[in-house]
Amino acid sequence: GENVEQHPSTLSVQEGDSAVIKCTYSDSASNYFPWYKQELGKRPQLIIDIRSNVGEKKDQRIAVTLNKTAKHFSLHITETQPEDSAVYFCAAETGRRALTFGSGTRLQVQP
């Protein structure tokens, strides 16, 4: 089955700096890659996603890049703010809407 690895497990940045989180996946059949933000005690919330026919997608301060050949995708957050502090999860889907998640990255934005 699919295996998704996520790095780093924790990330601390100064407010205004950029943050990058990286994921790799194992199944070349995966074709959908969402990123979720989860605050303490809350449900995961989709922040951005990308499909396998697209190399990059941007939404304001958030961007995701996908390299199908290398089987890795990354989340980029620019101009970080304290409210960006949360746990971020990457995921991959091979179809049938069943997601395989990475282990998460705890992002701390220092004011």
Partner 1 sequence: NAGVTQTPKFQVLKTGQSMTLQCAQDMNHEYMSWYRQDPGMGLRLIHYSVGAGITDQGEVPNGYNVSRSTTEDFPLRLLSAAPSQTSVYFCASSGQGRETQYFGPGTRLLVL
Residues 6+ apart with CB under 8 A from 99: 34, 91, 92, 93
- Which of 17, 98 has the CB closer to partner 1? 98
Q: According to the binding rule CB under 8 A, does residue 27 interact with partner 1?
A: no
**Chain-centre distance for alpha carbon 29:** 19
Q: According to the binding rule CB under 8 A, does residue 97 interact with partner 1?
A: yes
Q: According to the binding rule CB under 8 A, does residue 44 interact with partner 1?
A: yes
Within positions 65 to 94, which residues make up the interface with partner 1, using CB under 8 A?
Answer: 89, 93
**Chain-centre distance for alpha carbon 36:** 7
Q: Using CB under 8 A as the criterion, which residues of the chain lie in contact with partner 1 when the complex forms?
A: 1, 6, 32, 34, 42-46, 49, 51, 89, 93, 96-104
